[in-house]
Amino acid sequence: MQTDMKISDIIVFACRNSLRGLRTKLISVSAVAVSIAAVTLLSALSAAGKAYVRDRLDSVGISGLAIISKKSSFEVEDIELLANRFDEIKNVMPLTVALAGIRFNSVSSDVLMWGIGEGAEDLISAELLFGRFPTKEEIDSAATVIVIESSHAIESYKRENVIGKKVTVSLNGVRTDMTVIGVAQPQSGGLLQTISADIPGFTYTPYTTLAYLSGEREIGQLAVEYTGGADKEELSRKITALLCRMSNESESNYEIEDIGSYKERAEGILDTVSFLITAVAAVSLAVAGLCIMSTMLSAGREKKREIGTMMAIGAGRRDIILSFLADSAITTFTGGVAGTAAGFVAAAAITNSTGITAETELSLIVYAVLASILCGLLFGILPAVAASRMDPVKALRDD
């Protein structure tokens, strides 16, 4: 007559079995630990990499829509009409750029000089450390004011706050003294600098001032800030239609790019790459599962007499299956915990050495441990069922 074993008896039996054949079990635990460590490490590095790239893309400089006119130029009236015509548009700013040279306290360097308009703080991602961006009055009067990066200030004055200092700008062979009104966090030290060390730093001045210095009075590009819930494709179509009516130009004359979508595309690519790399690492977990299966099958053959004794005193097939599954789960749980800890330690070491900030996600820890337990249960089913089908008489006779 069969009597069901208590859960506590099953767990005790499983723990006792886990301690037997310690060398073999350590190999299984190590296999699971290495697999889980690989998955955890790659997942943690992927999350850190995505956060880093997202931050670097945000620091490149411009957000919103960029409107480019290929033939005709924009007028001030066009800018005002766009800004007031659509509820989805928060701000419209002329956007021009030129390569210039600056001389700051006897230190010379090349910079990308951005011509900006009112509301620049909402359209460009430059983080001001000191001072301000140009005011409407300075833009209207083409004032000779400039916002520089802190790297220029430190290189020239060994400090960041240089508000009020004079900078000599050379553009088209003409030198102009400009007053520093703001100091911003460096943009070129982010993603652009990782692409090339020769990328110059950024400076910002009123677009009217840049037009005067460069001799390029036409406005060929606008930056548009839109509201959070705006349909960007529909807004682009409406802007294009309005510009075509105003200028009598065809749609092909205007090109509208959603600069914010670059970040979304980059994140999508990173998600795909992360999934593929993690999937490859997960294959090693399946290999570890096969190792567990082999170990448990061997354990079943080695413990025939013990299994026969359990059946003889009333243990049922369910009890044998649960005992083996618990043994397998304990083994993989131990490997999962060890592997998760090792993976996060390795990820922290790598991110610290590269200067990338990594955050430990509790969900990743939970998923890693649960994956290891699930692996043990799945690959432990076959050995457990095989052990439960033993003939107790034959098992007791076996030496």
- Of the candidates 268, 224, 259, 232, the one whose C-alpha atom is nearest the C-alpha of residue 53 is 268
Give whichever of 15-24, 88-97, 166-175, 331-340 has the largest mean pLDDT. 166-175
Mean pLDDT of 184-202: 58
Describe the crossing of helices 232-247 and 76-85 by its angle, rounded to 10 degrees: 140
Q: What pLDDT shows up at residue 147?
A: 94
> Per-residue confidence at 189, pLDDT binned at 50, 70, 90?
very low
- Output the six-digit token pair for 126: 């430059």
Q: Where are the domains of the chain?
A: 7-56+265-397, 65-258
Q: What pLDDT shows up at residue 163?
A: 95
Q: Are 256 and 65 in contact (CB under 8 A)?
A: yes
- Of the candidates 374, 393, 234, 398, the one whose C-alpha atom is nearest the C-alpha of residue 304 is 398
Indicate whether this model's pTM tops 0.85: no
Q: Are 4 and 319 in contact (CB under 8 A)?
A: yes
Chain centroid, CA 144 distance in Å? 39
Three-state secondary structure call for residue 273: helix
Q: What pLDDT shows up at residue 196?
A: 40
- Output the six-digit token pair for 139: 């833009």
Q: What pLDDT shows up at residue 216?
A: 77
Residue 10 has pLDDT above 70, yes or no: no
Give tens-digit pLDDT for 217-266.
Answer: 778 788 887 877 778 888 888 888 888 888 888 888 888 877 666 666 76
Q: Are 206 and 117 in contact (CB under 8 A)?
A: yes
- Of the candidates 309, 297, 299, 304, the one whose C-alpha atom is nearest the C-alpha of residue 398 is 304
Q: What pLDDT shows up at residue 160?
A: 92
Q: Are 199 and 188 in contact (CB under 8 A)?
A: yes
Q: Are 290 and 55 in contact (CB under 8 A)?
A: no
Average pLDDT, the chain: 77
> Per-residue confidence at 66, pLDDT binned at 50, 70, 90?
confident
d(CA 386, CA 395): 13
> In the chain, which ranges are E strands?
65-69, 89-94, 96-104, 107-116, 128-131, 145-149, 166-171, 174-184, 201-206, 221-226, 254-258
Three-state secondary structure call for residue 363: helix
* 160 or 2, greater pLDDT: 160
Give tens-digit pLDDT for 319-362.
Answer: 777 777 877 788 888 888 888 888 888 877 877 777 666 666 67
Q: What pLDDT shows up at residue 193?
A: 42
- The DSSP symbol for 313 reads T
Residue 205 has pLDDT above 90, yes or no: yes
